[in-house]
Structure 1
Amino acid sequence: MQKYLSRIQSTTLFKGFADREVQQALSCLQGTIKDFARKEVVFRKDDILDSVGIIIHGNVLLCKDNISGMRFIFSELGDGEIFGETALRLVQEHSGYEAVAGSECRILFIKINKIVRPGQDTCHLRGRIIENMLALLLENNRSIYQKLDLVSHKSLRDRILHYLALQTKKNNSACFEIPFTRSDLADYLTVDRSALSRELQRMAQDGLIRFNRNQFELLDAENQLRISDF
């Protein structure tokens, strides 16, 4: 745990914590670190969670099945972000969705009984941890609203442009690498993979983008950013 301390300390959950306070909080929350290979399942939709996950490195895809039984990705989370919020509920419930490693990743799992369960001894850092956790949850909600905004676009091209414009803002550059394979991107955009590949080729021919595998450049990015203001 010690060798990951600086990276853990840089996450939003432990913002403003000194080294000693991070160590105290991790001990109180029974923090454990686990590595996952790409495509490995972190938890399944029927699992009952007793911990939340903080991504130290890599990215995690949150997935659900639609009424036809087809998988779609409703959120993609990266370094420092939180998932498994159902563990925060006072009544135990199934997670309701699946978390899958989108790349090789390292995740810090923290037990939250001493933070949210009444009638138990609590960590003296409880207030600060809850404040930072709320900031993380609010950011997650913002990501979900962005996804709803994205899928509200009816045309495939508009969905792609909206997603790439968001990535431009996130990376502060018109050239960036997306965290998805082509199949995962299709699942995230809720479109057919073959149709997505064809449209990307057309967009490149029309001078809107350049791409090679998951490396993209959004041309005329300043104009495209206007469609993604949120």
Structure 2
Amino acid sequence: MQNYLKTISNTILFTGFTENEVQQALSCLDGTIKDFAKKEVIFRTDDILDEVGIILHGQVLLCKENISGMRFIFSELGEGGILGETALRLARERSNYEAVAGVECKILFIKINKIVRPGQKTCHLRGRIIENILALLLENNRSIYQKLDLVSHKSLRARILHYLSLQAQKNNATVFEIPFSRSDLADYLTVDRSALSRELQRMAQEGYIRFSKNQFELLDAKSYMQVF
């Protein structure tokens, strides 16, 4: 646990905590670290969640299936990300999505009743953690609206360029690596993988982008703006 203290301290749950306070909270919350192999399911749709996970290392893909059984990725979480937030509602509701390890992962799980269950002995820092949970819910809403904005674009090219522009902003650079394989990117954009590959090649030939595997470069911002 000590090796990941910095990562844990930088998560939304512990915003505003000193390193000493984080250590106090962790000893009280009594979390458990679990390892997951690449593509291993962390929890499934309809699982009842009673704990929140903090990603200490790796990447987690949050997935859903449409009515025809086709999988799509609606969010990607990296180091410091929080998953299982539906447990925060305390209603023992079932998850409505699946969490899968995108790469090998190490995740710290904390039982939600250690944080927010009233009438039980809890950490004295509980109130501040609960305030941060509200910030987490707001951040999740922001991510949902961002994804809706992405898929609102009807053309495949517009979706690709919209996504790449967000990644460029996130990295504050026109050259960056995306966190998806080509197959996972197709699932995230909710498009066919073969169509995605063909469109990426056309965009490279036309001077919009340059790419190699998961490294991309936006080349012509003016032309990009004309797409929308």
TM bracket (short chain): over 0.9
How far does residue 224 in structure 1 lie from its aligned partner after superposition?
A: 4.3
Deviates more, 1:73-82 or 1:6-15: 6-15
Deviates more, 1:218-227 or 1:16-25: 218-227
Structure 1 CA distance for aligned equivalents of residues 125 and 84 of structure 2 = 21
Is the CA contact (8 Å cut-off) linking 1:86 and 1:93 kept in structure 2? yes
Secondary structure of the corresponding residue to residue 96 of structure 1: coil
Structure 2 CA distance for aligned equivalents of residues 27 and 46 of structure 1 = 30
Equivalent residue number for residue 152 of structure 1: 152
Equivalent residue number for residue 34 of structure 2: 34
Distance 1:58 1:226, change over 3 A: farther
The aligned runs of 1:130-145 (5 Å cut-off) are 130-145=130-145
The aligned runs of 1:213-224 (5 Å cut-off) are 213-221=213-221, 224=224
Q: Which runs of 5+ in 1 are unaligned?
A: none
Structure 1 CA distance for aligned equivalents of residues 199 and 49 of structure 2 = 40
Is the CA contact (8 Å cut-off) linking 2:9 and 2:22 kept in structure 1? yes
How far does residue 128 in structure 1 lie from its aligned partner after superposition?
A: 1.0
Is the CA contact (8 Å cut-off) linking 2:60 and 2:102 kept in structure 1? yes
Structure 2 CA distance for aligned equivalents of residues 162 and 106 of structure 1 = 31
The aligned runs of 1:72-151 (5 Å cut-off) are 72-151=72-151
Distance 1:128 1:57, change over 3 A: same
Deviates more, 1:217-226 or 1:201-210: 217-226
TM-score computed with the length of structure 2 as normaliser: 0.93
Is the CA contact (8 Å cut-off) linking 1:209 and 1:216 kept in structure 2? yes
Structure 2 CA distance for aligned equivalents of residues 120 and 227 of structure 1 = 56
How far does residue 11 in structure 1 lie from its aligned partner after superposition?
A: 2.1
1:180-225 deviations in Å (ceiling 9; x for gaps): 1111111110000100000000000010000111111111347748
2:33 alignment partner AA: I
Secondary structure of the corresponding residue to residue 109 of structure 1: strand
Secondary structure of the corresponding residue to residue 93 of structure 2: coil
Equivalent residue number for residue 70 of structure 1: 70
Secondary structure of the corresponding residue to residue 129 of structure 1: helix
Structure 1 CA distance for aligned equivalents of residues 221 and 4 of structure 2 = 36
Structure 2 CA distance for aligned equivalents of residues 47 and 137 of structure 1 = 20
Does residue 55 (structure 1) correspond to residue 55 (structure 2)? The answer is: yes
Q: Which runs of 5+ in 2 are unaligned?
A: none
Equivalent residue number for residue 20 of structure 1: 20
Structure 2 CA distance for aligned equivalents of residues 89 and 203 of structure 1 = 44
How far does residue 227 in structure 1 lie from its aligned partner after superposition?
A: 8.4
Equivalent residue number for residue 177 of structure 1: 177
TM-score computed with the length of structure 1 as normaliser: 0.92
Distance 1:89 1:151, change over 3 A: same
1:152-189 deviations in Å (ceiling 9; x for gaps): 00000000000000000111111111111111111110
How far does residue 81 in structure 1 lie from its aligned partner after superposition?
A: 1.9
Distance 1:216 1:128, change over 3 A: same
Structure 2 CA distance for aligned equivalents of residues 224 and 101 of structure 1 = 33
Secondary structure of the corresponding residue to residue 121 of structure 2: coil
Is the CA contact (8 Å cut-off) linking 1:82 and 1:137 kept in structure 2? no
Is the CA contact (8 Å cut-off) linking 1:169 and 1:225 kept in structure 2? no
1:103-124 deviations in Å (ceiling 9; x for gaps): 2222121111032222222221
Is the CA contact (8 Å cut-off) linking 2:7 and 2:79 kept in structure 1? no
Secondary structure of the corresponding residue to residue 123 of structure 1: coil
1:110-159 deviations in Å (ceiling 9; x for gaps): 11103222222222101111122222221121111110000000000000
> In angstroms, what is the RMSD of aligned CA positions?
1.9
